[in-house]
Amino acid sequence: MAVSGASGWPTLPALPDPATRAVLDSGLLAELSYALGGPFHFLLPDAFDANLRTLRSALSDAGVAGFVYYAKKANKAAVWSERCAANGAGVDTASVGELRDALGHGVRGEHLVVTGPAKDGALLRLAVRQGALIAVDALDELDALIATVGPDPVRPARVVLRCLPPAQPHSRFGLHDTELEAALERCARAADAVRMEGFSFHLSGYAVQPRADLAGRLVERCLKARARGLVADRISIGGGLAVSYTDAVSWRGFLAGQHSGHYHAGKSFTAGDFYPYHSPAAGAGALRALLAARPEGHHRNLAALLQDAALTLLLEPGRALLDQAGATVFRIQGVKDRAGYQLLTVDGTSLSLSEQWFHSEYLPDPHLLSHDPDAPAGLHPASVGAATCLESDLISWRKIPFPRRPRIGDLLVYPNTAGYQMDSNESSFHDLPLPPKVVIDRTERPRPRWRLDRQRS
Ligand SMILES: *Cc1c(COP(=O)(O)O)cnc(C)c1O
């Protein structure tokens, strides 16, 4: 941040990542951009494996039995299901398509959890047959599930009851106290049709303490449910482990320095519009902090409560498993001069960098890969527009201070985009093709090894 930050143009440098750096330096991206003829994403499965390992270490170091499900909505690529299958991890799915995809890439049925509201009959039937864990979100859903299993069950429906978080009473998800009571009663009555394995939640935001507090309450709920003869041996804390994209100093400097003059068309953002691009406790660090936190009303930490109750902790991280696991590559196809900055047009759209669609902006600085080594160096602020006819379709409203003058044919590489940016909003608007995903199985010398992802949409 020092140099260009001091010049008055806020920057947000991504945390250094050797694997991404190796790909940038390899020359591969220019070849792929030419070969694929449009924007593309690249994926780094080794990073996913490493993130899974660090989460598992956090659990084992705290002496807590746990199981990690990858929240599939964060990125559709097949390679993540393949990695889950290879590593014995689970997948969190919310549709027949996601469930089928995870199974088809080798994840075992009993390693799936099905979340999402008002799951339809086809999804419930498939989940029961595959032995997947089902996070029940409403009483009518529980009734439908019990009816699906029928009176002579071959196998029971495996169920956790999703709780409406008391601290987020306006959430549209989960059961409130009286509904939970009724659900427990119905589970007990359903006998062999239902195996009530515990409770779950998923909180908005990234704070650790509210998760510890609610987890503490679910531990108590499990103990009470067991007293009624139910299994209740696990709780799921959902997702929401924060990811740090940048360091603390850069993030603070960015927020303090940015104003509407730094954006195309004088657009303005407040700090609350942005994802928190730095968190003091992120990824496995956030999990460690959670396990070490003392839930409200308890004098021991969450890890100790889980151990004492012999409970398994289930997690459904999406973003945290995808940290540093991919990036997005656009080619500059037009450069306009505006007063004091340039307006670049790239070969893709903000539908392939989703943050724009949430009243926000993806802030980590893109890398400029110049094809012309003689491009003038210096400070060249530029905003980045999309190849569409929408006035508002910008990938970066921010005037990013590039270290060389961007030219047609240069590549812009947005770092660390695998979590939520790539495909949640993608469409073939304007009849533009969807950006393919390139899996880079090996980043080190002599050459990166790449292939196309096997996902079918
Ligand atoms: C979205 C979602 C997750 C994943 O959240 P992250 O913030 O990506 O970790 C986990 N569980 C449920 C129920 C979700 O809806």
Q: Which residues of the chain have pLDDT under 50?
A: 1-4
- What is the position in ligand 1's atom list of the atom closest to the CA of 317? 9
- State the distance from the centre of ligand 1 to the C-alpha of 238, rounded, in angstroms: 6
Q: Indicate the DSSP class of residue 339.
A: T
| DSSP assignments along 322-333, one per residue | GTTSEEEEEEEE
- 3-class secondary structure, 451: strand
**Cβ contact 116:316 at 8 Å:** no
State whether the beta carbon of 137 lies less than 6 angstroms from ligand 1: no
State whether the beta carbon of 232 lies less than 6 angstroms from ligand 1: no
- State the distance from the centre of ligand 1 to the C-alpha of 404, rounded, in angstroms: 39
Q: Residue length, the chain?
A: 457
State whether the beta carbon of 89 lies less than 6 angstroms from ligand 1: no
Cα gap 162→158, rounded to integer Å: 13
The residue nearest atom 8 of ligand 1, judged by CA position, is: 318
- What is the position in ligand 1's atom list of the atom closest to the CA of 162? 13
- What is the position in ligand 1's atom list of the atom closest to the CA of 321? 9
Cα gap 435→292, rounded to integer Å: 42
* Residue at 84: amino acid letter: C
- State the distance from the centre of ligand 1 to the C-alpha of 2, rounded, in angstroms: 35
* Ligand 1 pocket mutation, candidates 67, 69, 92, criterion most atoms within 8 A of CB: 92
* Ligand 1 pocket mutation, candidates 113, 133, 161, 202, criterion most atoms within 8 A of CB: 202
Q: Which domains does the chain have, with CATH numbers?
A: 3-44+325-452 (2.40.37.10), 46-244+279-322 (3.20.20.10)
The residue nearest atom 4 of ligand 1, judged by CA position, is: 239
* pLDDT for the residue numbered 2: 40
**Cβ contact 384:395 at 8 Å:** yes
* pLDDT for the residue numbered 336: 98
- State the distance from the centre of ligand 1 to the C-alpha of 312, rounded, in angstroms: 18
* pLDDT for the residue numbered 151: 81
* Residue at 231: amino acid letter: V
- 3-class secondary structure, 232: coil
- 3-class secondary structure, 164: coil
Q: Indicate the DSSP class of residue 283.
A: T
State whether the beta carbon of 317 lies less than 6 angstroms from ligand 1: yes
* pLDDT for the residue numbered 394: 97
- State the distance from the centre of ligand 1 to the C-alpha of 318, rounded, in angstroms: 6
The C-alpha torsion from 239 through 218 and 58 to 42, rounded to 10°, is -10
* pLDDT for the residue numbered 3: 43
* pLDDT for the residue numbered 6: 55
- State the distance from the centre of ligand 1 to the C-alpha of 71, rounded, in angstroms: 6
* pLDDT for the residue numbered 12: 98
* pLDDT for the residue numbered 1: 40
